[in-house]
Amino acid sequence: MSRPALLTINAGSSSLKFALFPAEGDQPLASGLADRIGPEGTLTVKAADGTPLTGAAHPEISSHAAALRSALTILLAAFPDLEITAVGHRVVHGGPDHAAPLLLDEARIAELARLEPFAPLHQPHNLAGVRAAMEAFPRAAQVACFDTAFHRSHPFVNDTFALPRSYYEKGIRRYGFHGLSYEYIAGEIARIAPRLAEGKLVVAHLGNGASVCAIQNGKSVASTMGFSALDGLPMGTRSGQIDPGVILYLMDQEGLSAAAISDLLYKKSGLLGMSGLSNDMRVLEAATDPRAAEAIDYFVFRVQREIGAMAAALGGIDALVFCGGIGENARGIRARICSRMAWMGIELDHARNEANTLIISSELSRAQVMVIRTNEELVIARAVRALVNHSERSAA
């Protein structure tokens, strides 16, 4: 007799995270990561106890779709008695209309595909994962969980651009991203420090994609990312904030097409473009090339600047929280970011920072500094259960 289970799929710009959950409970049965998707990528799948699960000697991970197929082959072989009854997908862009998880069918997939120009580095991968899951599990409910949904509470001033109002009505506005990660962090703060959760939090999600979010009373107030996932901080391959005049110059003087500019800003800029070496912070930290050091310097400076901007949006700061691959693991980068934050009441405890403890600020720090490992998969799993259960009750 088969046991029901649900699968979560989280496609990033260069990675694919996935987790297999039982029908009830927050502890996954297995989870995995396809990292650095492409010719030199790696695929890791582990059971709940950390035991590696393996399949082919050289799994195919040349693309997001191929990585998903390889992951499913391993998971289904390891758990042959499970029936996948629901699949939850991280979908980066929900547009102005979707602020809650959504059951997917072909019409809604087509609707979300029209948002691909808003998030060309992510949305196509997200929807490719949906279609692959529909093919693999045709009877399972497919649920989209949107990265933009958490930010729909922004006040107008943090949601608009200074363009004619008609463009705002057409959907050209600041959406913000990494919402699933921020939702998890806000929930964890509420669980472990309820009084702090009512205060003013600045959360830095730092990874190949990076942003900073201002949160008060569990609600997003402002975010460094805007209309697209290009805005704000420099990232692995994305430029971050750039003067619009640069775009006009590239068009008029360099003769670049819209497609060429998109490729430049999304895939050839950021840490990769500045260093000329890599989009991976681990590689840059180990490099001796001065361009790598300059790329890191710029990244640190921009994070410091945007933390200050988010604190200004809140009118103060009670805690700074690091999450994401860089935020959770790059101790040296965290230390450098915090090194010029004393004016905000931030003082790092370097021993705690090296030990990667939950609280890495000193006892004298007026604002707490924390490291929380984000868990977008758990947010997706909980949302899928809630939506599917509600749908079943409504149909009964």
Of 81, 105, 147, 231, the active-site residue reads 147
N-to-C CA span, the chain: 24
User: In sequence order, what DSSP letters do the residues of 303-317 get, joined into one string?
Assistant: HHHHHHHHHHHHTS-
Which residues face 3 on adjacent strands? 82
Question: Average model confidence (pLDDT) for the chain?
Answer: 94
At 139-150, the pLDDT tens digits run: 999 999 999 999
Residue 324, token pair as written in the block = 């994401």
pLDDT score, position 185: 98
Active site residue 297: no
Q: What is the pTM of this model?
A: 0.92
Amino acid, single-letter form, for residue 198: E
At 189-218, the pLDDT tens digits run: 999 999 999 999 999 999 999 999 999 999
Domain annotation for the chain: domains and CATH numbers: 3-146 (3.30.420.40), 179-371 (3.30.420.40)
d(CA 63, CA 160): 35
Mutual angle of helices 331-338 and 290-314, in 10-degree steps: 60
pLDDT score, position 264: 97
Summarize the confidence of residues 32-59 as an average pLDDT.
87
d(CA 117, CA 111): 12
Look at residue 36 and tell me whether its pLDDT is greater than 90: no
Closest-CA residue to 99 (of 203, 224, 220, 227): 220
pLDDT class for 57, splitting at 50, 70, 90? low
Q: How far is CA 222 from CA 12, 211, 232, 308, in A?
A: 22, 11, 12, 12
Q: How far is CA 390 from CA 27, 102, 384, 385, in A?
A: 22, 12, 10, 8
pLDDT score, position 92: 94
At 344-394, the pLDDT tens digits run: 999 999 999 999 999 999 999 999 999 999 999 999 999 999 998 877 767
Helix (H, G, I), strand (E, B) or coil at 249: helix
Summarize the confidence of residues 97-115 as an average pLDDT.
94
At 297-315, the pLDDT tens digits run: 999 999 999 999 999 999 9
d(CA 275, CA 271): 6
d(CA 53, CA 259): 40
